[in-house]
Amino acid sequence: MESYSLPHYAEGTIVFDVRTRVDGTIFEAKGGKATISLKLQDDHLVYESHAARQDATLDLEDVSPLEDGTWHSVAVTVQKDGTRIFVDGYHEFCGTTPVFFSDFEGKGELSVGREAIEVRKFEVIPKILSSAQLIACAAKPEPLIQFAANHLSDYDVKQVSELAKGTIFVRFRVRGQGQGGVMLAASGNGIEQLRLSVQADGIHYETLGKYGEWRTFFAQGSWADGGWHDVAVRVGLGAVELYVDGFRELHAPGQTFFSDVSGADTIMIGQDTGGIRMLGEASVAQIYESVLGDHQIKRLSHIEDLQTTPLFDRGFHGSASYRIPSLLTLPSGTVIAGADQRVSIANDSPNDINFVIRRSLDGGNTWEDLQTLLDYPGEGADGASVIDSVLTYDEDAKRVIVLIDQYPGGVGQPNNEQGKGVDEQGNLLLFDRDKNVYLLHADGTVTTKDGKKTAYTVSESGNVTVEKGGAKQPAGNIYLKDGVDPHQNLLEARTCFLQMIYSDDEGKTWSKPKNLNGMIKEQWMAFMGTSPGTGLQLKKGKHKGRILVPTYFNGEKAMRFSAGVVYSDDHGMTWKRGKSVNDDRVFKGKTLNPRNFTDDEASLHESTLHERQDGSVAIFMRNQNPAGRVAVAVSQNGGESWGEVSFHPQLPEIFSQPNSVSLPDVAGDGKDRMVFANASELLPYRGAGVLRLSEDGGKTFVSSRTFRPFHYVYQCMTVLPDGEIGLLWENEWQGLYLTKVPVSWL
């Protein structure tokens, strides 16, 4: 262990290399009431900082394996907008905490390394190193074997044949369409038992198992453009993964490597073991005994890092968690990001959840502090909540519109009661302990159901007062959980309310919430709420200017859902609900009724919308169908009704929220470009955030990239003023992060 005196920097970079096979503390600084530490815990990094202004824990649960006995590079940068952590040169995680050595008040000590944890090149630098600088100085993974001929020596074959896990890396090119062949092959006892090949349909990795059956792992694609491409086969942690040009194209359970080649005697490059050469060439071939990390593979393929900024994360403004991103770019260039602020616990409703935003006035580079727009009373699981925001911009009215779900305390989606919760005039229904019905009017007065005045009044925050003997006394809060407040007199209905707020000054100030249930909810519905993310304003056809917001609802069967939209033709002043996609849908030979259908395979949940060039609107829907694909339907009348449901063969569905964004026609070729994003694999957690590019309005997708191979759940996209895609994505338990993605990246 080495000790250092504490620097006094307010921002800067900590950079070093580490090598270990055990858990433990890599470095720790203590001084005054502040601490900073980085530990290896269960083979992943955990960074903690504590100071008067903010506490934070950044759990890098997706970076493994680090305890593999090889050198890895780690960097921590801290500046005004937060902390970023880089592994092997690439950004891995970040948080909003700006705690650094200036918080130590010049006291304390910095200790580095522990027994069995080697640390070298440890530096604290008073400036922020760029991602390019961090990649350049990162430790390179060292191969066990590098091919210097088309075959390995007998000695090297023996070394490689012992590997049950590791990584193969090959750089190749083929000379034209339909060409290809075996890039690497291994035989034993004169029989070929392992091969890596490029074929017309993609990359194949195959091994002959001990039961005499070939095991095949396949990444679909075409790499016959005459250019150089990289393929990496990563085997370990129970899976085989295929990377092409630095990006993961396949993750498949099962583990098979050179140790499965019985009696290994030959390993070839650029041909099979029978001497058939590939129609192309392999210029680099390496075999690693370690399971290379995602960032190490990107380093081998010279991939540039993407800029990521923490916007809302665990500990920010004292909150336990943030989830559910919404994101919008205004014509002026102002960018608005919205989130659920989950104050004391990370769960969905019932919970104390606020709606918050941050604004950027420079295209997403810097951000104003948090602004709380909706905050209902109560704490924890007893608290009232708002959840699942949708941001939409009305270009005609120059208005930012937010639709969001609101629940009373103790209520969430699974336990809503049926009903609108309002009367025919939109007045909120209130109930006393004996279930007598009252009406709350816009001026805060309360009447009986038949219009008689009462002694109750209700404030904007829901506080109830009752007049007795000429004095007003507290009488509870209408939004709280039943039984929480000893003064309780009146409560709102125990159901979900769809609310709207709006801003006419680009998010500086906001309207009071408006309850939409009277316009769009039916008495037989329990839940009627948003599909979070973004809505759209139609730009074509007879309904040009219409605002569409994706929604879904249930009825008499609590866990059976139907997707659709609500729409406004008057800038959000009034709303209508279009028919759901399940209305009159023929499913398994029967016509569905969204009110009472029973088959969960027909359920359609959260969705995203895209207006096609012909004026039709496509809806892409989360679902429970065993097809395992995103459901799609098309409306020809601005969302009022929908056509038949299909399941898109190119869009995997693991029951997670989708999002899409339309791209401007900067090329001038008239193509209908859109990007679709969703979590695409169960690992078994929801993960593998993939972005896919379509040039025909989502009918087909021409390219895709795995943005994040591991934990990744909801997302929202917007086109930033510089033309790049702003992707606000969530790691389910930790926060929301904005990454700028160039369209060329796809």
Residues 661 and 531 in one domain: yes
CA count, 13 A, side-chain hemisphere, 212: 0
Per-residue pLDDT at 211: 84
- Per-residue pLDDT band for 119 (boundaries 50, 70, 90) equals very high
Per-residue pLDDT at 7: 87
SS3 call for 320: coil
Which residues fall within 8 angstroms of residue 334, CB to CB, at 6 or more apart?
Answer: 359, 360, 361, 506, 507
- Residue bearing the bigger pLDDT, 446 or 176: 446
| pLDDT higher than 90, residue 536 | yes
| pLDDT higher than 80, residue 99 | yes
Query: At which residue do the structure tokens 């433990």 appear?
Result: 24
Per-residue pLDDT at 361: 98
Residues 552 and 417 in one domain: yes
| pLDDT higher than 80, residue 4 | no
Number of domains comprising the chain: 4
Write down which residue in 300, 320, 349 finishes a domain: 300
**Residues composing the chain:** 746
Q: What's the mean pLDDT when you consider all of the chain?
A: 96
Q: Which of 203, 201, 205 is nearest to 178 (CA)?
A: 201
Per-residue pLDDT at 732: 79
State the Cα–Cα distance between residues 26 and 44, nearest whole angstrom.
12
CATH code for the domain of 87: 2.60.120.200
Residues 508 and 434 in one domain: no
- Per-residue pLDDT band for 115 (boundaries 50, 70, 90) equals confident
How large is the average pLDDT for residues 243-259?
97
pLDDT per position as a tens digit, 303-345: 999 999 999 999 999 999 999 999 999 999 999 999 999 999 9
- Per-residue pLDDT band for 40 (boundaries 50, 70, 90) equals very high
- Per-residue pLDDT band for 734 (boundaries 50, 70, 90) equals confident
Residues 634 and 723 in one domain: yes
pLDDT per position as a tens digit, 618-654: 999 999 999 999 999 999 999 999 999 999 999 999 9
The DSSP string of 527-554 is -EEE-SEE-EE--SSTTTT-EEEEEEEE
How large is the average pLDDT for residues 281-307?
96
Strands 547-554 and 561-568: antiparallel
Rg of the chain (C-alpha set):
29
CA-to-CA dists, residue 523 to 55, 418, 420, 497, 556, angstroms: 46, 6, 5, 12, 10
Strands 353-360 and 335-342: antiparallel
pLDDT per position as a tens digit, 387-426: 999 999 999 999 999 999 999 999 999 999 999 999 999 9
Residues 453 and 417 in one domain: no
Write down which residue in 270, 300, 330 finishes a domain: 300
| pLDDT higher than 80, residue 1 | no
Residues 173 and 197 in one domain: yes
Q: Where are the beta strands (DSSP E) in 61-178?
A: 72-79, 82-87, 90-95, 109-112, 117-125, 145-146, 166-174
Per-residue pLDDT at 651: 98
Q: What are phi and psi of 590, to 5 degrees?
A: -125, 150
Q: Which of 230, 249, 379, 234 is nearest to 319 (CA)?
A: 379
Burial 422-455 (b: 16+ CB within 10 A, else e): beeeebbbbbeeeeeebbbeeeeebbeeeeeeee
Residues 241 and 224 in one domain: yes
Residues 447 and 507 in one domain: no
Per-residue pLDDT at 667: 86
- Per-residue pLDDT band for 712 (boundaries 50, 70, 90) equals very high
Of 61-65, 151-155, 258-262, 308-312, the least confident = 61-65
- Per-residue pLDDT band for 5 (boundaries 50, 70, 90) equals confident
Domain that holds residue 524: 308-421+495-745
| pLDDT higher than 80, residue 193 | yes
Dihedral over Cα of 454, 455, 459, 464: its sign: negative
pLDDT per position as a tens digit, 659-693: 999 999 988 999 999 999 999 999 989 999 999 99
Per-residue pLDDT at 176: 87
Residues 244 and 294 in one domain: yes
pTM of the shown model? 0.96
| pLDDT higher than 80, residue 225 | yes
Residues 441 and 582 in one domain: no
Q: Which of 402, 684, 661 is nearest to 547 (CA)?
A: 402
CATH code for the domain of 442: 2.40.220.10
From edge to edge, which strands make up the β-sheet containing 90-95?
90-95, 82-87, 72-79, 12-20, 117-125
C-beta separation of 729 from 717 below 8 A: no
Q: Where are the beta strands (DSSP E) in 90-190?
A: 90-95, 109-112, 117-125, 145-146, 166-174, 181-188
Dihedral over Cα of 504, 509, 515, 521: its sign: positive
Residues 736 and 626 in one domain: yes
Residues 713 and 564 in one domain: yes
| pLDDT higher than 90, residue 210 | no
pLDDT per position as a tens digit, 438-459: 999 999 999 999 999 999 999 9
Strands 437-440 and 428-431: antiparallel
State the Cα–Cα distance between residues 145 and 585, nearest whole angstrom.
59
How large is the average pLDDT for residues 29-38?
91
Q: Where are the beta strands (DSSP E) in 395-518?
A: 399-407, 428-431, 437-440, 445-448, 453-458, 463-468, 471-477, 491-492, 497-503, 514-515
∠ at Cα 557 (551, 562), nearest 5°? 25
Q: In this structure, which long-range contacts are made by residues 69-72, counting pairs with CB atoms below 8 Å and at least 24 apart in sequence?
A: 69/19, 69/20, 69/21, 69/290, 70/19, 70/141, 70/142, 70/290, 71/17, 71/18, 71/19, 71/120, 71/139, 72/17, 72/18, 72/19, 72/139, 72/293
State the Cα–Cα distance between residues 45 and 706, nearest whole angstrom.
22
Write down which residue in 448, 464, 492 finishes a domain: 492
Per-residue pLDDT at 241: 98
